[in-house]
Chains A and B, each alone.
Chain A
Amino acid sequence: MKPHPFATYHPAVAFAYLACAIVLSMATLQPVFVVLSFAGAVGCSIVCRGARATGRSFIWIVPLWLVVTIANPLFSASGSTELFRIGVRAVYAESLLYGACSGAMLAAVFLWFSSYSSCMNSANTMALFGNVLPVVSLMVSQVMRLVPQFVARGRGIAAAQDATSAAAPQTKRQQAAGRFRIVSVLMGWGMEDGIERSDAMRARGYDCGARRSTYKRYRFNRADASVLGIIVVLAVIAGAWAAAVCLKFSFYPTLSGWGAWWAYVPYAVLMAVPPILQFKEWLLWR
């Protein structure tokens, strides 16, 4: 896993931050907030996944944004500033801006989620919820173990099948059956494994009647608590003020209800948390 700014903290910090960021980004469809959350999502993605991976996401983010932006005025002809007409349909600036905002919001949410998946792997997630659901935590761990094994095995079976050219499929139908065959080999093998693995599990006391406990890899200490506290407080204030602004704001017929500038400050600070944490780290190792 790439080192990310949350790596030095308990997974609860990363989870709380990203959850807040995702929820707020989805809830605030207002040009300024959208710009802020998009900028925050890009910043977070750069510090969590690297500039290169983020750049690569733009390959599909930009077309997505363009499509949503262009589609909105075509479907909703509201607004007051007419830009031009296609046939009988008028295209309004407000409607175009609404499209641009929803496109950017969608893009931001996508970026937040990619940061989430790079910061929270199964071990982290389980460290958070494992205590509540020990059985689920074990199941996830097992699935995470079995999936790569199945994939590797499937590849091995396909390789053996392809490399045995003396038994190559003669007809189209046999060719199609070939891929299906991999699945049936995998199934048989997997079931056989299951018997032995359940023996191995029972041999180590699985289902022996005791209440399962969970190995805790992370401890929640004071530094985690303070960062988490700051994030939660920021998110509550930002959320409340954003709600106040968004309720008054409207796109149609003209853009109105921008509110005071300071109402945007907590939100902007919240969005800047990952780069700030990264900067702190940078200062330390300068």
Chain B
Amino acid sequence: MALVDVKGFSFAYRTDEGSARPVLENVSLTIEEGEFCVLVGPTGCGKTTLLRSLKPELTPVGECGGTIEVLGMPLLRDGVLVDPENGGMDRRTSASAVGFVMQDPAMQIVCDTVWHELAFGLENLGTPQDEMRRRVAEVAHFFGIEPWVRQATEDLSGGQMQTVNLAAVLALRPRLLLLDEPTAQLDPNALKRFLFLLARVNRELGVTVVMATHSPEDVADYATRRIDLGEVGDMGARDDLCRSLEPRWSRRAQALANESVLEACSASFRYHRDSEWVLRGLNMKVARGSVHAIVGGNGSGKSTLLKLLAGVQKPQRGSVRNTLSSKQAYLPQDPKALFVCDSVAEEIAEWRMRCGYSEADERVALERFGLADHARQHPYDLSGGQRQKLALAKLLLTDPELLFLDEPTKGLDPTSCADEARLVRALADEGRTVIMVTHDLDFALATADEVSMVFDGELACTEPVGRFFENNIVYRPNKASRLFGALL
């Protein structure tokens, strides 16, 4: 018997105007017990809608048609939701038998400590205390969480948080595990570790996995089945991209010879008197009009360095000299930190009085960033890529000469990444200086003029982008990626 059986499923969201916006049309699929199935498609193709329709608590509201059966129980029959009284799935069964992991690691965490988070679902189901203790112990052991099981969830890294989310769901012993782009916000190392754990869950525990993603190559080794819900774009080769970028790089070499606008002189920094030094005697120079990428592993201090350069933190030793300190803008990791208004248009207009730009400028900006059709939408209703663009548009209207970007590609799909790369390059061509911190080496290759690698609180090396990645053997971009494909 199939674990998931979807027949002729279609779904449309109702818009404010009353019309219906179709997302899925006539989708049919069956998934057998023990499969590792990836749902592939670009942003907005209905991956999330389909996954959520398989879990009764999360069923999206809209007009639907077709039939859905999960674990042999009907959820939807000819476009009508089936109640538990009529043989549908009740909430207890759904909570324990169907697990769901979402994209944002921090957002799903409910409790303050890791052990409580692991026990949360079990508490909800009223599991007896001894059984609960055993199940928490079991999953903590399986995922290697034991060493930090008493830690506060707030202090975990993104990868650790997502592992806890997976473990917390596994503690309920599901037969079916649904994951909605679970690795989109993780750095490359954490991504590999998470997918490896997921594969173990599938193979060793026999849990059926259905995972939505826009980069199926990450799970190619583990997946038993791939279902395409839309075009994800072609792969492009790194060498091809390098070749196409060469003219740009030789042109940009002039920019790197400009005078430096930002200089760090043996800057040292730590967060508390008793804590370790995060940066130790770091030296750095950024040339006017260049795009400078700062790369490095997790916890290498690259985000701290950006804060120091932007003047958010002051070094305890050494100095940071910034000639553009009054004309700078800072794009935080999550653009939501910049949004305060109820619509895109208002958001863009927030600093109109202060910075003296006009309504016409705003229209031009919206046009340029492809947001003109979304002017009346709430910023939170935009997609991740659009949010990033809105934040950039808002910052650019203040006409900054120096821009700081903190992980600008976090959670973005390849198309949005490519848009972002083009935008940043265009900014540099306008003569603006851009400093960005990223763990996305593909993006750094496509965008930067110069790359610095942070290691152990110092800059291990700083080189023009071409040379930097040529000289690295391990720490280099992918051979081929969809971002390169989108840029070529």
Q: B398 near A167 (CB under 8 angstroms)?
A: yes
A169 at the interface (CB under 8 A from B): yes
Using known A-B contacts A165-B326, A212-B124, determine if residue A123 contacts B380 with beta carbons closer than 8 Å.
no
Of all chain B residues, the one with the shortest Cβ separation from A159 is B312
Main secondary structure of the interface of A (DSSP, over half): helix
Q: A205 near B121 (CB under 8 angstroms)?
A: yes
Q: A216 near B133 (CB under 8 angstroms)?
A: yes
Q: A166 near B400 (CB under 8 angstroms)?
A: yes
Partner of A145 from B110, B126, B172, B333 at Cβ < 8 Å? B110
Q: B109 near A206 (CB under 8 angstroms)?
A: no
Closest Cβ of chain B to A44, distance in Å, is 24
CA distance A36 to B95 in the complex (A): 56
Closest Cβ of chain B to A77, distance in Å, is 49
Q: B312 near A211 (CB under 8 angstroms)?
A: no
Of residues 68 through 114 on chain B, the ones whose CB sits less than 8 Å from some CB of chain A are: 91-92, 94-96, 99-100, 102, 104, 106-113
A221 at the interface (CB under 8 A from B): no
B43 at the interface (CB under 8 A from A): no
A162 at the interface (CB under 8 A from B): yes
Of all chain B residues, the one with the shortest Cβ separation from A181 is B340
Q: A203 near B57 (CB under 8 angstroms)?
A: yes
Of all chain A residues, the one with the shortest Cβ separation from B116 is A141
A 170-209 to B, binary, CB cutoff 8 A, 1 in contact else 0: 1000100000010011001100110011011111111111
Using known A-B contacts A122-B112, A145-B153, determine if residue A164 contacts B400 with beta carbons closer than 8 Å.
yes
B124 proximity list for chain A (CB < 8 A)? 204-208, 210, 212
B237 at the interface (CB under 8 A from A): no
The stretch among A57-65, A109-117, A146-154 that forms the contact with chain B is A146-154
Of all chain A residues, the one with the shortest Cβ separation from B394 is A167
CA distance A122 to B113 in the complex (A): 10
A149 proximity list for chain B (CB < 8 A)? 106, 154
Main secondary structure of the interface of B (DSSP, over half): mixed
CA distance A160 to B404 in the complex (A): 10
CB < 8 Å A-B pair total = 186
B251 at the interface (CB under 8 A from A): no
CA distance A209 to B125 in the complex (A): 8
B115 at the interface (CB under 8 A from A): yes
Closest Cβ of chain B to A137, distance in Å, is 9
B325 at the interface (CB under 8 A from A): yes
Using known A-B contacts A141-B116, A192-B380, determine if residue A165 contacts B327 with beta carbons closer than 8 Å.
yes
A81 proximity list for chain B (CB < 8 A)? none
Closest Cβ of chain A to B116, distance in Å, is 5
Q: A148 near B336 (CB under 8 angstroms)?
A: no
CA distance A167 to B404 in the complex (A): 14
B120 proximity list for chain A (CB < 8 A)? 138, 201, 204, 206
B113 proximity list for chain A (CB < 8 A)? 123, 141
CA distance A213 to B133 in the complex (A): 12
CA distance A165 to B402 in the complex (A): 10
Closest Cβ of chain B to A246, distance in Å, is 42
CA distance A157 to B94 in the complex (A): 38
Using known A-B contacts A141-B111, A141-B116, A205-B124, determine if residue A163 contacts B132 with beta carbons closer than 8 Å.
no
CA distance A202 to B332 in the complex (A): 30
Of all chain B residues, the one with the shortest Cβ separation from A151 is B154
State which size class the interface on A falls in. Answer: 35 or more
Using known A-B contacts A142-B110, A205-B91, determine if residue A163 contacts B404 with beta carbons closer than 8 Å.
yes
The interface centre, meaning the residue of B116, B312, B336 with most chain A CB atoms within 10 A of its CB, is B116
Partner of A167 from B100, B339, B354 at Cβ < 8 Å? B354
Of residues 328 through 367 on chain B, the ones whose CB sits less than 8 Å from some CB of chain A are: 328-334, 336-340, 351, 354-355
CA distance A208 to B100 in the complex (A): 16
B 14-57 to A, binary, CB cutoff 8 A, 1 in contact else 0: 00000000000000000000000000000000000000000101
A55 at the interface (CB under 8 A from B): no
CA distance A195 to B125 in the complex (A): 21
A214 at the interface (CB under 8 A from B): yes
Of all chain B residues, the one with the shortest Cβ separation from A191 is B380
Using known A-B contacts A165-B326, A205-B172, A215-B132, determine if residue A197 contacts B107 with beta carbons closer than 8 Å.
yes
Q: A170 near B354 (CB under 8 angstroms)?
A: yes
Q: B92 near A213 (CB under 8 angstroms)?
A: no
Closest Cβ of chain B to A281, distance in Å, is 20
B164 proximity list for chain A (CB < 8 A)? none
B91 proximity list for chain A (CB < 8 A)? 202, 205, 208-209
Q: A166 near B398 (CB under 8 angstroms)?
A: yes
A168 proximity list for chain B (CB < 8 A)? 326, 354
A286 at the interface (CB under 8 A from B): no
A162 proximity list for chain B (CB < 8 A)? 311-312
B58 at the interface (CB under 8 A from A): yes
Partner of A166 from B125, B312, B399 at Cβ < 8 Å? B399
Using known A-B contacts A156-B332, A203-B100, determine if residue A215 contacts B122 with beta carbons closer than 8 Å.
yes
Of all chain B residues, the one with the shortest Cβ separation from A152 is B154
Using known A-B contacts A200-B102, A206-B124, determine if residue A193 contacts B337 with beta carbons closer than 8 Å.
no
A144 at the interface (CB under 8 A from B): yes
Of residues 284 through 328 on chain B, the ones whose CB sits less than 8 Å from some CB of chain A are: 307, 310-312, 325-328
CA distance A145 to B152 in the complex (A): 8
Using known A-B contacts A145-B154, A199-B58, A215-B119, determine if residue A160 contacts B92 with beta carbons closer than 8 Å.
no
Of residues 205 through 234 on chain A, the ones whose CB sits less than 8 Å from some CB of chain B are: 205-217
A174 proximity list for chain B (CB < 8 A)? 354
Q: B112 near A144 (CB under 8 angstroms)?
A: yes
Closest 7 CB pairs of A and B: A205-B95, A163-B330, A215-B119, A144-B112, A204-B121, A166-B398, A210-B126
- Additional A-B contact list (19), CB under 8 Å, known A167-B395, A189-B339, A209-B91: A141-B112, A142-B110, A145-B110, A149-B106, A157-B337, A163-B310, A166-B355, A166-B401, A167-B354, A167-B355, A184-B340, A188-B380, A189-B337, A196-B102, A201-B110, A203-B95, A205-B125, A212-B124, A213-B127
Query: Can you offer 15 A-B residue contacts whose CB atoms are under 8 A?
Result: A142-B111, A144-B112, A149-B106, A160-B338, A162-B311, A165-B329, A167-B351, A168-B326, A197-B107, A201-B120, A203-B100, A204-B120, A204-B121, A208-B125, A215-B116
